[in-house]
Amino acid sequence: MIRFRASARRPLSVRPLCARGLLAALGLAVLLPACSVLPRPEPVDTYLLPSAAAPATGRGETQAWSLRIAQPAAGGHLASARIVVLPEPSRVSVYKGASWSDPAPVLLRDRLFEAFRTDGRVTALSSDERRLHADFELDSDLRAFQSEYRDGEPEIVIRLDARLVRPLGRRIVASRHFELRRRVAGTAVPEVVRAFGAAADALSVELVEWVIEEAQAARP
């Protein structure tokens, strides 16, 4: 008996082609929407810390000692360049679309340096950027540099723990806690920035007087 063997017909290999096509189609489906929904960078207005302090050069006797002003230590939200606001006592936020020209500790150090220079009684001034030798160093911790809402109205708050230090031996000569508050004329960012400047000016005046008094008393 003659037996005939049925020849098995192999199916065309189409799975790899279909898989590759499916992956390509999915890739295009993912890429095309992604190109259209990429977030645009938020426009940011950069603000300098304003000053309205009047020149006071020549208001007293020139001091024979030198002073180095160190950048205040700060952590967390106070170490950035964003303008901080506390809409509630336990909630920290920032003003949208607004930023300082430098981090808050740098702004305050530069404002204090300018206040001493304008005062004119301490002529031998330097900052921690140069690390020059000095008889005294103004060291500090920045505890607050923010806008806080009270009864629905913003108020600027600056808190600074200051220390007058002898660099040789790192001995603390005097220390004091400073706190300045200034009401804001409105809620717009430019008005808030102006109030920051007024509070920083007032803090600088108090701190200059305190440093000169304590350094004079500590001189041999």
Q: Which of 161, 114, 165, 115 is nearest to 142 (CA)?
A: 161
* Close Cβ partners of 202 (under 8 Å, ≥ 6 residues apart): 180, 182
For residue 33, is pLDDT > 70? no
**Does 3.40.50.2300 match the CATH number of domain 68-218?**
no
Q: Taking residues 171-190, what's their average pLDDT?
A: 96
CB burial of residue 178 (10 Å; 0-12, 13-18, 19+): middle
Tens digit of each residue's pLDDT (9 = 90 or more) over 128-176: 998 789 999 999 999 999 999 998 999 999 999 999 999 988 899 999 9
pLDDT at position 39 is 62
Q: With cut-offs at 50, 70 and 90, classify the pLDDT of residue 52.
A: confident
pLDDT at position 16 is 45
Output the pTM of the full model: 0.79
* Close Cβ partners of 173 (under 8 Å, ≥ 6 residues apart): 136, 164, 165, 166, 214, 215, 218
Q: Where are the domains of the chain?
A: 68-218
First-to-last alpha carbon distance for the chain, in angstroms, is: 130
**Pairwise CA distance, residues 93 & 151, whole Å:** 18
pLDDT at position 19 is 47
Tens digit of each residue's pLDDT (9 = 90 or more) over 56-100: 655 688 999 999 999 999 999 999 999 999 999 889 999 999 999
CB 105 within 8 A of CB 175: no
